[in-house]
Structure 1
Amino acid sequence: MEGAFQASGLPVEGQVTSVGTLEELPAALSAGLVVLGDEGGVVEEAVARCRELHSRRFIPRTHLVVLTARSEEEQEALIRAGADECMPMQGGGWRRRVASFLRRLEAGGVGDATPRAPVSQRIPPESALRALLASTTSDLGHDFFRTLVTHLATSFRVTCALVGELQPERDSLRTLAFWLNGRFEDNVTYRLQGTPCHNAVLSSLCHYPDDVATRFPEDAMLLDLGMRGYLGAALKSSRGDAIGVLAILHGEPLDMGALDRALLEALAARAGAELERIRAQEALERARDFLRNTLDAVPDPLFVADRAHRFVAVNRAFCGFMRRSAEQLLGSSYHDFLPAHEADLGWRLDEQAFTSGQPIEREETLTGLNGATRTLVTKRATFTETPGQPFLVVTIRDITDHRRLETQLRLADRMVSVGTMAAGVAHEINNPLAYVCSNLAFLGDLLARGPVPAESLPELREVVAETEEGIGRVRAIVQDLKAFARSDEERFGPVDVHQVLEGALRLVRNELAYRARLVRALEGVPTVRGNEGRLGQVMVNLLVNAVQAFSKNDMDENRIRLATRCDGPDWVVVEVEDNGPGMAQEVLERIFDPFFTTKPVGVGTGLGLAICHSIVHSMGGQIEVRSRLGHGSVFRVVLPVYRGEDAVLPVLKARVEQEVPRRRLLLIDDEPAVGTSVRRLLQGVHEVHAVQDAREALSLLSSGEQYDAILCDVVMPGMSGVDFLRELEQREPLMARRTGLMSGGTFSTQAREFVAARSSDLLEKPFEPERLRTFVERLLA
């Protein structure tokens, strides 16, 4: 093949280099035809050799031919690997192929087959300086580099001008703008080692007037492009580190004076500053994107505000929370979106964080844009930028569902406790019921015999007194159960600790009566801030746990001590102590963890103490425990003294009997016995008309019946007391204001809110005669 090539009579002189392996070739191939002989075998090996040759050549100035006898399918694989064409092994047509190749080189303006015309004289340096300075002030970004090399090549009238940046490994250069023979070429990346640009990086300025390709034989691009002269300057960062190269190259000798070199250095400095600015801007954009992605990855709503309380950064969750886009939120404040009172509260809390510099965590209630009320926990923290400008970071966590679940767990724990105490409660109720029933039977028998003799009256009075005392005991147990189980979770006010303890003791009396001896050490203490039902739940749990700590019933040995005292002017301490087996350290460390229990399966849920901990903390107090194995345990509850309105209960004045006009009263209750009992209690003062249906009462009023006041039960079949009162407010508003409600137990939340919104009180069953008369008198007033 080499002989045929030499005998073809080429139109230009050329050199033929023949090697046996790819390892003998230089890293970059010179311009010309590249011929690969393929002797067959595994096609993948031929494809690999073809791909390697393709990676070493400069495509515009080379033509890769593969001599092969392979099938068309395998030849296609070689073409895809980089070959320009495949031909039979014997070759041929070399003269025609070389002529075509030369014509392609000449069309590109870079051929070296024909002599070049002499290069005209460059324009004066002063004119070049003015043109170049004008070009460097018009554009920014990567367009700046394209403008720079265009004017640089034109002003100095050179073949090539380029600007490139060092890659992170600093062993290669990637061109940012590459101007060659009057047009832009695609940007390329090439290794610096063995190139004049490498010397420019090392020495800041590098000038080779002629024979630069000879000086750097490893730089194939110099030879391919036919470059002879080179002038290059390093681009420097603000710290003085080389970050790139600005160079001009020429196909003729390049004689440059001191002014030319100074001009190139000045332009390189300008290009270095622009490259550094671009890198800084890209780094800033990456940091901004990173920050945005980081904020958006936070599942809770989050925003950053400046000192003027304007949003300067928001995450995706906050946009969803506010139902606004980031563009709408940025630059705005609370007052642009929230009700005035909530916006003012947020502003005050932000200002507090700015002023104090301390983190603030707070639970708040927010009315959303759809009118729904949500419970939120907000956390605020400040930070300061370098110039001293403070900013505020606020995170928001919606705990509405958590609070709802927490309430359900507390109620569930109460029901578990009620179940545990059921036997004791039944015992406490059945005892007085036994003699109440017996006394009523005795009274019935006595009255059935006829007139009661005078000598039996003292015994009758004693029977009635015992019956009233028994009913009072039953009523107290029921009231304790209602206070324990009711769900007015969020009401806080003055609570009498001793009253709560007495109610809790009545509920656990049966648990306590036969297992341990109770010792009281109760000092006089003020009312505390809390919730009676929730505090009762805490005390019942602590008492039940103390009782269950004893492994056997032993009234002489087992002891539970209940103590109250003040701890300074602001705190009240309640202690529940037992002399049981105590607890190990590993148990103490987890005693308040949810679902942790040392009780057998079916006896404990592990929620009791965790809920106690939550309840006490919600009241602003603390709960602690001390215990050692073999030395019992002490649970200590510390609660804040109530500092609201005057917590001292008013002293009841003695009732003064006076004549009152007889009035007509309508009683609505589905229990006929209630109507009968009320009529008996009021018959000496008022006329009572009782009905069992609210609709019947409305019919009576519509027919013209006149009443001075109405008593109505809340819970009734058909029309409830609340529905009756709403209807009455539409028909007879004046009569509705003289209507009172009564109830014997828990009713719906909507009904409770309706009752709470009215000015009149609720008469709770069972009621004593005095409470009933006072309630009716208030309605009639």
Structure 2
Amino acid sequence: MQVILLKVPLLLCDEVERRLQGEGGQEPRCQVLRAAGLEHLPERLPPGLVILGDDGGALKEMVELCRRVHARRFSWRTHLTVLTRRSPVELQALARAGADECISPPGEDWGVRLIALSRRLHLDGMEAPALVRLEQPRVTAQEALYALLSSTSADIGPEFFRALVAHLVSAFRVTGALVGALTPDKEHLQLLAFWTDGGFRESRLLPLRGTPHQEAITHGSCHIPDALVERFPDDALLQEQGYRAYLGVALRDSHQQAVGVMAVAHGEPFEAGIMDYALLGALGTRAGAELARGRAQAELEHTRDFLSNIINAVPDPVFVKDREHRFVAMNAAFARFMARTEEQLIGKSDYDFVPEHEASIFWRKDEEVFRSGQPNENEETLTDSAGRSRTLITTKAAFTGAGGEQFIVAVIRDVTESRRLEMQLRLADRMASVGALAAGVAHEINNPLAYISSNLSFIAEQLAQDELEHEARTELRQAVLESLEGTRRVRGIVQDLKFFARADDEKQGAVDVHRVIHGALRIVRNEFQHRALLTRALEPVPAVHGSEGRLGQVVVNLLVNALQALPIDRPSEQNSVRIATHHKGAWVHIEVEDNGQGMSSEVQKRIFDPFFTTKPIGKGTGLGLSISNTLIQVMGGWIEVQSTQGKGSTFRLVLPVYQEKAAAPEPAPTPVAPPTQEPRRRVLLIDDEPAVGASVRRLLRGVHEVHTLQDAREALGLIARGERYDAILCDVMMQGMSGVQFVQELERVAPEMARRTGLMSGGVFDAQARSFIEARALDFLHKPFERESLRAFLERLYR
């Protein structure tokens, strides 16, 4: 019999071996192997006796060692004895871990113990087989080596188990062999490969209870040399195949948990030797590893599919880039957004799909996340495959893969439509403010128009006379000057309204705060004349960073709100509104203060909520302060509110001071040439309003030769027939052919004249025309204009 002494102290080993071998020259009755640890023993322990020494250390460590020994033995043919002096409670823990018995270190009874153990380890009371018999297995060394090499070189996956079963049948020379995996409930065995009677059979699900497979899993191995059906009468497969002998081992994963069974069976009785156990144990280790690998791969694929389904369920585009800024993963929404397939995107970068300047911006933003490791959110612009510009909010975060590689994951929100709606909402709020102030604006315009109209009538009457006295000429001159001053007032109000109502004023830069305030006050001046006393406390302040149109909208909104907060039944001389500016460090404050009704703390908490209003139905939308708050935040500032109910409110705009970029060095002054008389030029003016052409001819009379037309198509016909002009001035908004269309056609037929063409307009025109003017860097003249501005504009066109 084979006896293994594991972790037994040296002196104790000698005593145990002496007792086991017998005394007084008796023949050795067993072979003894000493080992300091499991790593010095074979993967599968041979039949016999294992004596495990307990040094009295931590119970947990001893229980774990006992469990590992138990997992590596053939429990039906191997006896595990633990030499220990532990308490009864601790002995129970060792027994549950696999110990067959726990006894104290050896005394005089070891000879008796050996006889008892020998009888227990061999069936039917037969005499213990000689060691020589264990050395004559069914499998030869050559067959074992071939089987091991074949299993090592076999392909992984389902075919591995079929090849392994075929090698088992050949090496053991048996009727059948199988490899099965435990089901999650551990109640059944799913056959992965099953060979019997010369061929493979289809996979099937076998119940585990009452089978030798259950014995193999419970004890680590199971060997029934004969009478297999009688031993397991409830095993339908044994009854069906008529097997008489069985040798099986449990398949284990890396945590030594049973995951399946590998077994051979034969229609005739057979014994198993050490070589048989060693080969089956080695192949079982390989099969267990492959079964665990297959399960891990299946779990990985399941997890991958699960995560893929999750990411594809996200409606927003999601992508992952590697450290080289290449796409390595994405969801279906991103592929649709890019109008590409996943295969077309994987391994590519932004430079392969979007304009270079946009790709460079994306690359720089990605690099910031890679280097800082901090997530960020940016508003970006992307030109899609159809050439449309999209506005995106992209949130990016960095992470490290299992191999240490760096990646970034990004989520995109396409806010193009919401930005367009926001712009329309802001414009609607501006128009609502203009509508509310329409009567006051009309009053501001009608006042100067009244005396302009009267003066022009007076001038016409005086000029109808044949002769004018000196006093009449002086009075005419005064009437003309008053009329000019009135037109300037009207022009200022119109320009303020035009600027205030611009829908596409998104550019930010240096803003003159006082200029914005004065423009806002001109718009609301008439409202204040009969409602409240307006005071100004405008300290000198630097320019702020922002947008003039946006800031003007906010200031007008606050002024109108201040007026509406004043009690209706209180005399106007008791109502006051104060607007002030202050400079504090890097910030500029604009304050609008009133002595109106004030607000409760509950109202103050909600004043910036969209559609919240305390005004009667039909008197307010509840969007003014919400939009104002958003506009100020976009400019990098915020709004502060102080209010006491019954005493009034103060709204304070806090805006950042504009930081000028380093100015380029000024060029050296060029010598100023002495003034020369301006040469006479041929000028073509195209405007569908005949009075504009007539006025321009009067302004340029004696200086330039002016030709006027009302149709741009007629002008193109003249140019096509050879007419040439030194400068062309064309209105933007005209019926038939617009000024933009005229310039586009002129660029085709007479590009040299297109370079000397300027556009003019007296009102707001569409975004397409504005984009065209900005893209061509065309000179632009605002109506109304005076002689000096017109001549300066034409002079720029000549150059």
> TM-score if structure 2 supplies the norm length?
0.75
Alignment-derived partner of residue 718 in structure 1: 736
The CA distance in 1 between the partners of 2:721 and 2:212, in whole Å, is 115
Bigger shift: 278-287 or 156-165? Answer: 156-165
The CA distance in 2 between the partners of 1:159 and 1:761, in whole Å, is 99
Deviation at 1:282, TM superposition (A): 0.8
- Give the counterpart of 1:164 among 180, 185, 198: 180
Cα-to-partner distance string for 1:714-757 (whole Å, 9 max, x where unaligned): 33333433444444445554444444332211223333333334
Alignment-derived partner of residue 144 in structure 2: 129
Q: Which amino acid aligns with 2:575?
A: N
> TM-score if structure 1 supplies the norm length?
0.77
1:264 and 2:276 matched: no
- Give the counterpart of 2:584 among 536, 544, 567: 567
Q: Which amino acid aligns with 2:584?
A: D
Deviation at 1:533, TM superposition (A): 1.9
Alignment-derived partner of residue 43 in structure 1: none
Alignment-derived partner of residue 185 in structure 1: 201
Q: Give the secondary structure class of the aligned counterpart of 2:361.
A: helix
- Give the counterpart of 1:672 among 679, 690, 697: 690
- Report if the CA contact (8 A) 2:720-2:749 is conserved: no
Q: 1:718 to 1:161 in 2, by over 3 A?
A: closer
1:524 and 2:560 matched: no
Alignment-derived partner of residue 749 in structure 1: 767
Alignment-derived partner of residue 776 in structure 1: 794
- Report if the CA contact (8 A) 1:546-1:577 is conserved: yes
Matches within 5 A, 1:436-451: 436-451=452-467
Alignment-derived partner of residue 543 in structure 1: 559
Q: Give the secondary structure class of the aligned counterpart of 2:591.
A: strand
Bigger shift: 537-546 or 123-132? Answer: 123-132
- Report if the CA contact (8 A) 2:139-2:276 is conserved: no
The CA distance in 1 between the partners of 2:723 and 2:262, in whole Å, is 108
Cα-to-partner distance string for 1:559-579 (whole Å, 9 max, x where unaligned): 32322222323x322222333
Q: 1:302 to 1:476 in 2, by over 3 A?
A: same
Q: Give the secondary structure class of the aligned counterpart of 1:525.
A: coil
Cα-to-partner distance string for 1:259-303 (whole Å, 9 max, x where unaligned): 322322222111111100101111111122122222222222222
1:421 and 2:437 matched: yes
Q: 1:771 to 1:551 in 2, by over 3 A?
A: same
The CA distance in 2 between the partners of 1:372 and 1:194, in whole Å, is 72
The CA distance in 2 between the partners of 1:516 and 1:182, in whole Å, is 109
The CA distance in 2 between the partners of 1:556 and 1:735, in whole Å, is 61
Q: Which amino acid aligns with 2:147?
A: L
Q: 1:262 to 1:562 in 2, by over 3 A?
A: same
Deviation at 1:165, TM superposition (A): 1.4
Alignment-derived partner of residue 33 in structure 2: none
1:641 and 2:657 matched: yes
Aligned alpha-carbon RMSD (Å): 3.1
The CA distance in 1 between the partners of 2:747 and 2:240, in whole Å, is 102
The CA distance in 1 between the partners of 2:377 and 2:732, in whole Å, is 42
Deviation at 1:356, TM superposition (A): 0.8
Q: 1:735 to 1:185 in 2, by over 3 A?
A: closer
Alignment-derived partner of residue 89 in structure 1: none
Q: 1:505 to 1:230 in 2, by over 3 A?
A: same
Q: 1:477 to 1:589 in 2, by over 3 A?
A: same
Q: 1:778 to 1:165 in 2, by over 3 A?
A: closer
Q: Which amino acid aligns with 1:234?
A: A
Alignment-derived partner of residue 375 in structure 2: 359
Q: 1:733 to 1:265 in 2, by over 3 A?
A: closer
Q: 1:350 to 1:223 in 2, by over 3 A?
A: same
Matches within 5 A, 1:587-602: 587-602=603-618
Q: 1:706 to 1:273 in 2, by over 3 A?
A: closer
Q: Which runs of 5+ in 1 are unaligned?
A: 1-120, 651-655
Alignment-derived partner of residue 412 in structure 2: 396
The CA distance in 2 between the partners of 1:391 and 1:481, in whole Å, is 51
Cα-to-partner distance string for 1:210-229 (whole Å, 9 max, x where unaligned): 33433444444444544433
Alignment-derived partner of residue 75 in structure 1: none
Q: 1:319 to 1:693 in 2, by over 3 A?
A: closer
Bigger shift: 684-693 or 232-241? Answer: 684-693
- Report if the CA contact (8 A) 1:522-1:562 is conserved: yes
Deviation at 1:699, TM superposition (A): 5.7
Alignment-derived partner of residue 28 in structure 1: none
Cα-to-partner distance string for 1:44-71 (whole Å, 9 max, x where unaligned): xxxxxxxxxxxxxxxxxxxxxxxxxxxx
Q: 1:514 to 1:393 in 2, by over 3 A?
A: same
The CA distance in 2 between the partners of 1:647 and 1:577, in whole Å, is 38
Q: 1:264 to 1:568 in 2, by over 3 A?
A: same
- Give the counterpart of 2:386 among 357, 370, 394: 370
The CA distance in 2 between the partners of 1:522 and 1:377, in whole Å, is 39
Q: Give the secondary structure class of the aligned counterpart of 1:136.
A: helix
Q: Give the secondary structure class of the aligned counterpart of 1:508.
A: helix
1:765 and 2:783 matched: yes
Deviation at 1:202, TM superposition (A): 1.8
- Report if the CA contact (8 A) 2:383-2:390 is conserved: yes
The CA distance in 2 between the partners of 1:758 and 1:326, in whole Å, is 39
Q: Which amino acid aligns with 1:558?
A: N
The CA distance in 1 between the partners of 2:194 and 2:717, in whole Å, is 100
The CA distance in 2 between the partners of 1:636 and 1:380, in whole Å, is 35
Q: Which amino acid aligns with 2:307?
A: L
Bigger shift: 729-738 or 675-684? Answer: 729-738
The CA distance in 1 between the partners of 2:489 and 2:728, in whole Å, is 30
Q: Which runs of 5+ in 2 are unaligned?
A: 1-135, 667-673
Alignment-derived partner of residue 96 in structure 1: none
Alignment-derived partner of residue 512 in structure 1: 528
Q: Which amino acid aligns with 1:437?
A: S
- Report if the CA contact (8 A) 1:662-1:687 is conserved: yes
Cα-to-partner distance string for 1:292-329 (whole Å, 9 max, x where unaligned): 22222222222212222222212222222333322232
Q: 1:257 to 1:417 in 2, by over 3 A?
A: same
The CA distance in 1 between the partners of 2:382 and 2:585, in whole Å, is 36
The CA distance in 2 between the partners of 1:707 and 1:335, in whole Å, is 46
Deviation at 1:585, TM superposition (A): 4.3
Q: Give the secondary structure class of the aligned counterpart of 1:510.
A: helix
Alignment-derived partner of residue 209 in structure 1: 225
The CA distance in 2 between the partners of 1:672 and 1:646, in whole Å, is 48
Percent identity between the aligned chains?
A: 59
Q: 1:460 to 1:270 in 2, by over 3 A?
A: same
Deviation at 1:383, TM superposition (A): 0.6
Q: Which amino acid aligns with 2:578?
A: R
The CA distance in 2 between the partners of 1:703 and 1:348, in whole Å, is 54
Q: Give the secondary structure class of the aligned counterpart of 2:563.
A: helix
Q: Which amino acid aligns with 1:715?
A: M
Alignment-derived partner of residue 29 in structure 2: none
Q: Which amino acid aligns with 1:519?
A: T
1:197 and 2:220 matched: no
Aligned residues: 655
The CA distance in 1 between the partners of 2:574 and 2:477, in whole Å, is 43
Q: Give the secondary structure class of the aligned counterpart of 1:240.
A: coil
The CA distance in 2 between the partners of 1:256 and 1:619, in whole Å, is 87
Q: Give the secondary structure class of the aligned counterpart of 2:636.
A: coil
